Structure 1
Amino acid sequence: MLSFRARLTTIIISMVALSVIASGLLMLKTFKENHIHVLEDTLEREMRLIAAQMDWKSGSDEELADYYYEHIRQLQELMDNRVTLIKEDGTVLADSDFNVREMDNHHYREEVLSALENGIGKSTRSSDTLNQNMLYVAIPVTNTANDETYVLRLAISLEEVEQSISSLTAVLVVGLIILFVIAALISYRIALGLTKPLEKITQVAKRIKNMDYRARVEVKKNDEIGELGHAINAMADSLQIQMGRIRQNENHLQSVLSNMINGIVMMDASGSILIMNERAEQILGISAAKLIGRHYREMKQQYELSQLIVEGYESRRHIHEEVTFYYPEERLLELNLVPIYQGNSSDFGGILLVLQDVSAIRRLERMRSEFVANVSHELKTPIAAVKGFAETLLGGAVKDEETSKAFLQIIYDESERLNRLIGDILELSKIESRRVPLMLSPIEIKEFMTNTFAILEVSANRKHIDFQLSSPEELYMEGDEDRLRQIFVNLLSNAIAYTPEGGKVEVDITVTELDMIRISISDTGIGIPEKDLPRIFERFYRVDKARSRGSGGTGLGLSIVKHLVELHKGTITVESKVGQGTTFTLELPQIH
């Protein structure tokens, strides 16, 4: 396809070429007609002069033919033109170039008829006798000797005229070619001046169409094309500002959607999905790329969700439900379907589906209820014991010194247990509510663990338990020494409590690839069943309830440990095999 510049140049050159050719043809035609008119006028004057000076005679046609032939021959030599004398009936009396006896009747020749009818006849045609184009001019003349009307005709060859026309044509062709080349160059220059700015404007418009809003037209003139360039630049400025605002709003919206803890799915009035954020992808277990632009039925979710969406489209009202999902994992979801209307109008625009995972909330509510129940149960046991033994003493047992002393000891032990339980509950409450300020300081791990071992050395020696510590030198971490002591005393106390006599408790300290301090506390105790491992950090959860109470445990120790480790930005895990022992592994950040 030709470019606009090529098309414009072609049009201009074509118009110039047509104009030049038409001018040349008109010039040639005008030159030829004028030349012939001059010859016609010249021949007419010559014939009238001949007619005026002619010496007319009467006689037979043969006599007249011989007579006029001599005169015509003399005239032909003087004028160098063919002279013919024709009678009114078309009989040729004399001809300067041919024998009249061999010539046909000229009555119906165009110039003869016109001369007899109009007083003068003119004709241009090919001569049958001379085989060349001739110009014929004829006028009627009267033979004064016998009053007969003749036609005097002069003929001149147009060969010279045609040669002049040919020469002129050659000159004109050369001149027209030169003129055409000059016109073509000028036309191309004009087209270039017109199209080059337009091509630049077109290129800028294409860049703007391809969302390159920084493209601008370089305006050099203040003509119409310059005004068009200014208009394009103004449009690009406006588009750049508007698109910048749109992109900023899109980024804000995308940031909000990406960081929302709730899943968002927006559908239009026909049910096609328009927006789906990352959280919705996680909850529904399907990629947004596969659903955007498709109908909501292609989500292929469970029946309850599909029915709720259908109900939302039918009722066009807010719907709130809680539904249990089993894919991609079991969870409880709170669903809100909100109808969307266009602006302030009543035109229905679609449905906004908000998905909130309330599994953790419901689990926390259940744990809170269980905690209250467990606390009530744990508090009720020592209180009931204190009350029972106190009632027994009041009933008369106080008189028996030995019995009263035993009952009072039990009351004291249960009150101590109750005091520990209340203290642990308050401690756990403060830790969970983040109301425990950590007094951070650098701690040398090996020295710290040695001092901790010393605190529990008496309990370990009582059961002949071997304490072992493996730790590198000069290894520091930042933490609250009292709280860390609480963590390790609790873990080591449990290890001693659940390890049979003659067992071993080992502490191994290393540094991980992620520059964390890993502390492993292993024992050779009774171990923990695999089914209980996921729950041992829950409040009041006991693997062996009878033994835990017998050892004075409250069931809150490991829960306190876990929260304190997390306050130090660490993690704690457990591995255990029944009859072989248990290993608690802590990872805490180190400092250099």
Structure 2
Amino acid sequence: MTKFRAKLTFILILLIGCSMLIAGVFMAKVLEDSHIEALQDNMERELKVILATGEWNRVGTDSELITYYTIQAKRIKASTEARLTFIRADGRVLGDSDQNPEQMDNHLNRPEIAAAASSGVGYTTRYSDTLKEKMLYAAIPVKIGEQTTGFLRIAMSLSQVDQSIRSLWYFLITGLAILFIIAGIVSYRIAKGITRPIEKMTRVAKQITNMNYKSRVPSYSNDEVGQLGQAINHMSESLQQQMERIQENERRLQGVMENMVSGIMMIDREERIMLLNPSAEYILGFSAQELLGKKYNEAKQQYEFTKLIQECIETREPIRDEMIFYYPAERILEINLNPIAHEDEEWSGVLIVLHDITAVRRLERMRSEFVANVSHELKTPIAAVKGFAETLLAGALNDKETAVSFLQIIFDESERLNRLIGDILELSKIESKRIPMQFSPVYLPEFLEKSLSVLRKEAEKKHIELSMHVDDDIYIEADEDRLRQILINLLSNGISYTQDGGKVRVRVEPLDMNADGDYERLRIIVSDTGIGIPKKDLPRIFERFYRVDKARSRSSGGTGLGLSIVKHLVELHKGTIRVDSEVGMGTKFTIELPVIH
């Protein structure tokens, strides 16, 4: 028997049993009340007969009256088998058939006496401490004219009434037991007929709950149970289709949320954070586990950000703002706050979209600085060319020596302008990745020797020693022209910023040796004994147009773009470059490149 069948059987039996029990209790109560009413009527008549046939206004001392009334009470009890008590108007017991009146308490405040004094007759039912059983008391006043001189009270045991009630309960319980057995058998048969198809439907419903939407209820008759089975089958088919759509939408939404670059945060109407995608976790520096379920003002967020959310909640209007966040790293965020409202609800929460625009703003700043630097760098040679040309036109041509000097300056500035424009175009191509990279094996000892030979004459002018240290069997896969451009730029810088008699060295070291003894990366170190670079300038050394010593850079013909070009070319080779320097001790550039591309 299933739990449902047992419950149904129990409910049917319980309903029948409760009905019989309530009926029995009602009958017992009615019987008890009617029996007590009949006893009260009889006791009142007996009291009136005793009052009419006896002498109850006798005069004498208390001792004489107690003796007289006690004898009368005992004589009457012998005939009626009821306890009789005579009580004086002040409550003193003057006679009792069962007890010594002198040992009895004052009875003026007894309920039946008080009721008799006020209404002519009084009744009460209570347990007698003297007789140790439940008694029914009735009392009437004894009067001379309108004056009450005492009270007659009669008491009868209710054991006969209790016996009748017990007999009724006995028959009632016996009948209920028989009825319960019959009701149990009938209820079980009815419950079994109802619950068997319901049990099968329950099994199918559990399988549907476990997402087995192919489960179906066997067909039954066209009654209510059969219609229920058909409804479950239709529901299963509908749920199968809906769950497939929901799962597909959830997969799409989850994929979108997890792969969005922008951070998404949702706050519900109770001002608690209910949604946080991985990008928002990264931007805010807190995991979803730390923030979900917390109120937005308890989530340890930046004060300005919290105030922005509060403003959106209060105004219920979209807000867009930019803000600098300092944790977990300094970045500029574009924040879009939009209140969420459904058709049936006025307001449901706030959707927050966070865009990290640090790179955009940095690029804008770099673009602005680049334009300003380019304008400045172009303006200097153009101004020189224009100034000297104007001087020549004004009459300096007549002085041949001065004219030649001016024309040489104009030529040098034109060359400088040409180099600057060439470097700008080169850097633009490199940054936009519009230059093709032609990778091929490069034998480094021969390659380094050719690169050094290009600059050897320039080094000899300053008596600078050029040297290299590289093993004989070192090869690397690289774009030979671009790699030479990297090396010549670094060597030229070393020569330019090294005093006469200094040294510029190139050293190649293999890195990351594998199990076969082959190296996977190479380290190329270009060092000099020059003037060095201050520590404050090291972080910016690869920026465009950045010069440590601006006057010396201009005099040497530098454009300020060489190191920036070097850095981008190294990155195109999937490598890294770093600089170490100390003022007065020299500078060391370290390049690490993969051997195979």
Q: Secondary structure at the match of 1:245?
A: helix
- 1:100 is matched with none
1:192 shift after superposition: 10
Kept after mapping to 1: 8 A contact 2:265/2:352: yes
Aligned length: 421
Partner of 1:19: none
Match of 1:536 among 516, 521, 541: 541
SS across alignment from 1:457: helix
Could you give the per-residue CA deviations for residues 345-382 of structure 1, whole angstroms, max 9, x where no partner exists? 67323211122222222222222121111111111111
Alignment of 1:407-556 (within 5 A): 407-462=406-461, 463-471=463-471, 473=473, 475-477=475-477, 479-500=478-499, 501-512=501-512, 515-556=520-561
Deviation at 1:556, TM superposition (A): 0.5
Q: Which secondary structure does the structure 1 equivalent of 2:531 belong to?
A: coil
Pair 1:202–1:346, CA change in 2 (3 A): closer
- The AA in structure 2 aligned to 1:548 is S
1:249 alignment partner in structure 2: 249
Partner of 1:180: none
Distance 2:254 2:7 in 1: 49
Which residue identity lines up with residue 536 of structure 1 in the other structure?
I
Q: Does 1:349 align with 2:348?
A: yes
CA distance in 2, matches of 1:271, 1:555: 54
Q: Distance in 2 between matches of 1:190 and 1:350?
A: 53
Q: How does 1:264-275 map to 2 (within 5 A)?
A: 264-275=264-275
Quote the residue 2:259 is aligned against.
Answer: 259
Structure 2: runs of 5 or more not aligned: 14-184, 515-519
**Structure 1 residue 413 displacement after superposition:** 1.0
Distance 1:342 1:550, change over 3 A: same
Find the aligned partners of 1:342 and 1:373 in 2 and give their Cα distance. Answer: 51
Once the two structures are TM-superposed, the CA of residue 200 in structure 1 deviates from its matched residue by 6.6
Among 566, 569, 592, which residue is 1:561 paired with? 566
Number of the residue aligned with 1:582: 587
- Cα–Cα, structure 1 residues 447 and 323, in superposed 2: closer, same or farther, change >3 Å? same
Report the Cα distance in structure 2 between the residues aligned to 1:561 and 1:529, rounded to whole angstroms. 20
**1:465-509, CA deviations, whole angstroms, 9 ceiling, x for partnerless residues?**
1311324625331x4322222122112221222233241312214
Task: Give 1:262 shift.
Answer: 1.7
Aligned equivalent of 1:367 = 366
Residue 340 and residue 455 in structure 1: after superposition, are their counterparts in 2 closer, same or farther (change >3 A)?
Answer: same
Give TM-score, length-normalised by structure 1.
0.62
What is the Cα deviation at residue 244 of structure 1? 3.3
TM-aligned CA deviation for residue 193 of structure 1: 11
Q: 2:411 & 2:294 partners in 1: Cα distance?
A: 72
Of 206, 212, 221, which residue of structure 2 is paired with 1:214? 212
CA deviations over 1:161-217 (Å, ceiling 9, x no partner): xxxxxxxxxxxxxxxxxxxxxxx9xx99999999888667545544543xx313754
**How far does the alpha carbon of each residue in 1:60-90 deviate from its partner, in whole angstroms, 9 at most, with x for none?**
xxxxxxxxxxxxxxxxxxxxxxxxxxxxxxx
Q: How many angstroms does 1:407 deviate by?
A: 2.2
1:573 aligns with 2:563: no
Looking at structure 2, the residues matched to 585 and 197 of structure 1 have their Cα atoms a distance apart, in angstroms, of: 82
The 2-side partners of 1:208 and 1:577 are apart by 75
Farther off after superposition, 547-556 or 429-438:
429-438
- The share of aligned pairs that are identical, in percent, is 57
Instruction: For residue 241 of structure 1, report the CA deviation from its aligned partner.
Output: 3.7
* Structure 1 letter corresponding to 2:252: H
Instruction: Tell me the SS of whatever aligns to 2:464.
Output: coil
Q: CA deviation at 1:424?
A: 1.0
Closer, same or farther: CA 6–339 of 1 in aligned 2, 3 Å: closer
**In 1: Cα distance, 2:189 partner to 2:458 partner:** 108
Q: Which runs of 5+ in 1 are unaligned?
A: 15-183
The structure-2 alpha-carbon separation of the partners of 1:369 and 1:233, relative to structure 1 and needing over 3 Å to count, comes to same
1:423/1:243 Cα in 2 relative to 1: closer, same or farther (>3 Å)? Answer: same
Instruction: Name the CA shift for 1:397/1:259 in 2 (closer, same or farther; >3 Å).
Output: same
Indicate how the Cα distance of structure 1 residues 549 and 245 shifts in structure 2: closer, same or farther if over 3 A, else same: same
1:281 aligns with 2:286: no
How many angstroms does 1:341 deviate by?
2.2
Q: Which residue of 2 aligns with 1:40?
A: none
The answer to whether the Cα contact below 8 Å between 2:547 and 2:553 also exists between their aligned partners in 1 is yes
Instruction: Please tell me whether Structure 1 or Structure 2 has the larger radius of gyration of its CA atoms.
Output: 1
Are the aligned partners of 2:502 and 2:529 in contact in 1 as well (CA < 8 Å)? no
* Matched residue SS, 1:553: coil
Name 2:78's counterpart in structure 1: none
Looking at structure 1, the residues matched to 439 and 369 of structure 2 have their Cα atoms a distance apart, in angstroms, of: 34
The question of whether the paired residues in 1 share the 8 Å contact of 2:217 and 2:233 is answered with: no
1:465–1:496 Cα contact (<8 Å) kept: no
CA contact (8 A) 2:452 2:466 kept: no
Seen in structure 2, the aligned counterparts of structure 1 residues 245 and 396 have a Cα distance that, compared at 3 Å, is same
| Amino acid in structure 2 at the alignment position of 1:577 | E
Residue 239 of structure 1: aligned partner: 239
Residue in 2 aligned with 1:591?
Answer: 596
Local SS of the residue matching 1:348? coil
Give the distance between the partners of 1:199 and 1:321, measured in 2 at CA.
60
* Residues 421 and 469 (structure 1), Cα distance of their counterparts in 2 relative to 1, 3 Å cut: same
Deviations 1:312-356 (A, max 9, x none): 12222221222222233332222211122215x673232111222
- Check 1:422–1:208 CA distance in 2 against 1; reply closer, same or farther (3 A cut): same
* Partner Cα separation in structure 1 for residue 351 and residue 590 of structure 2: 46
